[in-house]
Amino acid sequence: MNITELGRTGDGAAPPGGTEQAVLAAGLVKAFGEQRAVDGIDLEVRSGEIFGVLGPNGAGKTTMLRMLSTLLPIDAGHARIFGVDVAGEPHVIRQLVGVTGQYASVDENLTARENLWLFARLQGIPSSRARRIADGLLGQFGLEEAADQPIAQFSGGMRRRLDLAASLITRPPLIFLDEPTTGLDPRTRGQMWATIRGLVADGCTVLLTTQYLDEADQLADRIAVIDHGRKVAEGTPDELKTAVGNATLQLVLAEPAESPAAAEAVRRVIGADPVLSPEKGRLNVPLDQADLAADVLIALRAAGLSISSVSVAKPSLDEVFLALTGHGTDAEENR
Ligand SMILES: Nc1ncnc2c1ncn2[C@@H]1O[C@H](COP(=O)(O)OP(=O)(O)O)[C@@H](O)[C@H]1O
Ligand SMILES: [Mg+2]
């Protein structure tokens, strides 16, 4: 069963009133004692996009999602979801937003299938349709084999998938995913990405948080980078990466003495100087476009220069942060 069929079987809330913005928030603040966990964030998520909130541990990501989903009161500022005021109409908001984590109270003694069926029943869906929805979601999330095991036996990744499945029962038009792949193995992570893309292809809007630049890069149409409760940058993945350079081609020359000749060959291709460590024969070449890597290698061969090792490094979240904020992502070093 695909997501579209699930949408037809559920009685999900449609976004009211044709608003272009799924989320429109201004000046959001949440304080815990002296600490402003969210410190004046403006956010606009457009209908139909995947919006990524990228930030290190403790940046305020979860707090922001909890405020937007009515789970935490908003101390200052205001937020609308599909035009509906979050503080003023929390009951409407809860029908518009699917939040993973809200079904953390799964019954450990029930199976995955029974839990999904029960959640659907609690939403007022008739029994046979609830069963079809549960079966469809179990298939979609690769939980068929484990469907009849008690949740108590589930791995972390399986729980995460069941949690997302449960939040989709009513097919809400906006889905919040709080670090959907943290701690998942690469294969499960890839499956989760495909699932998220499928949700959007089917008309959902997704607001997700992540600590991983590559995840935001792969999935998000636009990204807000947050740090200590504040937004420090916003843009498309390309715009953010351009701020730090897209990638670096790291070369080691077979003959360190050939560094100057290699630097000259590189300069002719990229129009800029590589970063040299001549004594070790190392050259780091910043690349605006990944396909320039091949041009650089061809130019070096044409110049008769041989290379003992080649790798391409992508900018990490740390590098993006350093470029944007002047400090790393480790919260301790900022104190
Ligand atoms: N209920 C709470 N009480 C006190 N402090 C909190 C609470 N929830 C979060 N915080 C603090 O607010 C900051 C932001 O937390 P959080 O939103 O969980 O960050 P993130 O999700 O980006 O890791 C952290 O310093 C955290 O310790
Ligand atoms: Mg968090």
Spatial separation of the C-alpha atoms in residues 286 and 163, rounded to whole Å: 41
In a domain, 11, yes or no: yes
Ligand 1: which of 28, 29, 30, 32 to mutate, judged by most atoms within 8 Å of the beta carbon? 32
pLDDT computed for residue 5 by the predictor: 37
What ligand 1 atom has the least distance to the C-alpha of 226? 22
Residue tagged 């292809």 (tokens): 201
In a domain, 220, yes or no: yes
Sign of the C-alpha dihedral computed for residues 145, 151, 157 and 160 taken in this order: positive
In a domain, 111, yes or no: yes
Residue tagged 């809007």 (tokens): 205
CATH of the domain at 282: 3.30.70.100
- The vertex-253 CA angle with 251 and 255, nearest 5°, equals 170
Q: How far is the CA of 209 from the centre of ligand 1 (A)?
A: 14
Spatial separation of the C-alpha atoms in residues 106 and 166, rounded to whole Å: 10
Is pLDDT above 60 for 302? yes
The domain boundary, picked from 209, 241, 273, lies at 241
Is pLDDT above 50 for 1? no
Q: How far is the CA of 45 from the centre of ligand 1 (A)?
A: 22
The whole-model pTM stands at 0.78
> For residue 312, how many C-alpha atoms fall within 13 Å in the half-sphere facing its CB?
14
In this structure, are 300 and 158 located in the same domain? no
* Residues 294 and 198 sit within 8 Å (Cβ to Cβ): no
Residue nearest atom 7 of ligand 1, based on CA coordinates:
32
Residue nearest atom 1 of ligand 1, based on CA coordinates:
32
The domain boundary, picked from 195, 218, 241, lies at 241
User: Average pLDDT for residues 198-215, to the nearest whole number?
Assistant: 91
Sorting pLDDT into bands at 50, 70 and 90, what band is 18?
A: low
Spatial separation of the C-alpha atoms in residues 60 and 273, rounded to whole Å: 39
Q: Which ligand is in closest contact with the Cα of 179?
A: 2
In a domain, 325, yes or no: no
In this structure, are 107 and 165 located in the same domain? yes
In this structure, are 264 and 186 located in the same domain? no
pLDDT computed for residue 322 by the predictor: 77
Q: How far is the CA of 120 from the centre of ligand 2 (A)?
A: 27
In this structure, are 28 and 69 located in the same domain? yes
In a domain, 282, yes or no: yes
Is pLDDT above 80 for 79? yes
What is residue 126's three-state secondary structure? Answer: coil
pLDDT computed for residue 333 by the predictor: 44
In this structure, are 88 and 130 located in the same domain? yes
User: Average pLDDT for residues 210-224, to the nearest whole number?
Assistant: 92
Verify whether ligand 1 is closer than 6 Å to residue 308 (CB atom): no
In this structure, are 227 and 264 located in the same domain? no
pLDDT computed for residue 210 by the predictor: 93
Give me 292's structure tokens: 């320039």
Spatial separation of the C-alpha atoms in residues 206 and 208, rounded to whole Å: 6
Number of domains observed in the structure of the chain? 2
Residue nearest atom 27 of ligand 1, based on CA coordinates:
58
User: How far from each other are the two terminal CA atoms of the chain, in whole angstroms?
Assistant: 51
In this structure, are 137 and 279 located in the same domain? no
The domain boundary, picked from 220, 241, 262, lies at 241
Is pLDDT above 90 for 83? yes
Verify whether ligand 1 is closer than 6 Å to residue 329 (CB atom): no
In a domain, 17, yes or no: yes
Measured N-to-C along each axis, helices 127-140 and 156-167 cross at an angle, to the nearest 10 degrees, of 130
In a domain, 91, yes or no: yes
In this structure, are 259 and 235 located in the same domain? no
Is pLDDT above 70 for 73? yes
CATH of the domain at 130: 3.40.50.300
Verify whether ligand 1 is closer than 6 Å to residue 101 (CB atom): no
* Residues 177 and 277 sit within 8 Å (Cβ to Cβ): no
pLDDT computed for residue 15 by the predictor: 52
Spatial separation of the C-alpha atoms in residues 312 and 307, rounded to whole Å: 14
Range of the domain at 302: 247-313
In this structure, are 38 and 62 located in the same domain? yes
In this structure, are 108 and 42 located in the same domain? yes
In a domain, 209, yes or no: yes
Nearby residues of 82 by Cβ (< 8 Å), 6 or more positions away: 15, 16, 17, 19, 21, 22, 47, 96, 173, 174
Nearby residues of 309 by Cβ (< 8 Å), 6 or more positions away: 250, 251, 252
In this structure, are 252 and 226 located in the same domain? no
What does the pLDDT look like over 120-157, one tens digit per residue?
998 889 999 999 999 999 988 888 899 999 888 888 77
Verify whether ligand 1 is closer than 6 Å to residue 59 (CB atom): yes
Verify whether ligand 1 is closer than 6 Å to residue 67 (CB atom): no
14 φ/ψ angles, rounded to the nearest 5 degrees: -90, 150
Give me 104's structure tokens: 């953390």
Nearby residues of 80 by Cβ (< 8 Å), 6 or more positions away: 19, 21, 23, 24, 25, 86
Strand order, beta sheet including 282-287: 275-277, 282-287, 247-253, 307-313
Q: How far is CA 142 from CA 157, 159, 167, in A?
A: 11, 12, 16
Residue tagged 């937004």 (tokens): 231
What ligand 1 atom has the least distance to the C-alpha of 55? 22
In this structure, are 302 and 169 located in the same domain? no
Verify whether ligand 1 is closer than 6 Å to residue 306 (CB atom): no
* Residues 283 and 253 sit within 8 Å (Cβ to Cβ): yes
